[in-house]
Amino acid sequence: MKRSIKRIKHAVRELVGYKRPIKAKSDPLPFKVLAAEGITGWFSRRECRRLYMTVAMSGGAILEIGHFLGRSTACICEAIRDTRRPRTFRSYDLGFRSAEEFKAYYDRLHKTDVDVPPQYQQIVFSKNTTTTEVATGNLRRLGLDSFVTLISGDAFELDRDTYDLIFCDATHEPHEIEANVPRLVAHSNPGCIWALHDMNQVNIERVLALANVEFCELTGSLGTFMYRG
């Protein structure tokens, strides 16, 4: 019985693209390069370094969709700091305050019963806070908070600007990709670089079918694309 429950849970997680958050120690890379690697999140150290370099090699305004506790956000902030080129950088995360709000949103999006990741319960909901408040504290501790404007809420509803680089962590599976890729297009300047997390062959093909983008490369599951306008 226990085994089959475990198997079902595993299958649901596979379906919705859920992965365990990564802690710095669990990654085989030999030493820590970025302070960001100390923040818990769903982003491997290799992906952290790839995102850092993507930001360092680009210019213009940056949008992040999905900061959670600030791990990917810190990578972007560190690149802005280290290249000494001030840039507009706005970062959003849905401001859920309870497991019910989380489930209402993701059950509808994925059209299935989605588990609430335990980290949300332990770090966010049980403390009656939001991911944005926790991320703000994490970035402040690392001296990175001045490089970003963190906003709690739906990026696609609140933001009216266009950008030169978008990091999006809301492209886990085809339903989410279909909902969000047209919204990414609406926020992109021609030549905008898209760094999309949770890419695999299926997801990359969905993105290519939905937008005029060139696929460039994949590090872990961080895919980079160029929007052709």
Q: Which residues bind ligand SAM (CB under 6 A)?
A: 41-43, 65-68, 71-72, 92-94, 131, 154-156, 169-170
Shortest distance, position 198 Cβ to ligand SAM, whole Å: 8
Task: Convert 54-89 to b/e letters by CB count within 10 Å (16 or more is b).
Answer: bbeebeebbbbbbbbbbbbbbbbbbbbeeeeeebeb
Min dist CB 202 to ligand SAM, Å, is 18
- β-pair type (213-219, 222-227): antiparallel
Residue number, 170 or 204, with CB nearest to ligand SAM: 170
d(CA 55, CA 174) in angstroms, rounded, equals 26
Closest to ligand SAM by CB, 108 vs 228, is: 108
Using Cβ positions, the residue closest to ligand SAM within the complex turns out to be: 41
Residue 50 identity (one-letter amino acid): R
Q: Name which of 54 and 131 has its Cβ closer to ligand SAM.
A: 131
Q: How far is the CB of 147 from ligand SAM (least distance, A)?
A: 16
Count of beta carbons in the 10 Å neighbourhood of residue 174: 17
Q: How far is the CB of 9 from ligand SAM (least distance, A)?
A: 18
Contact between 163 and 187 under an 8 Å Cβ cutoff? The reply is yes
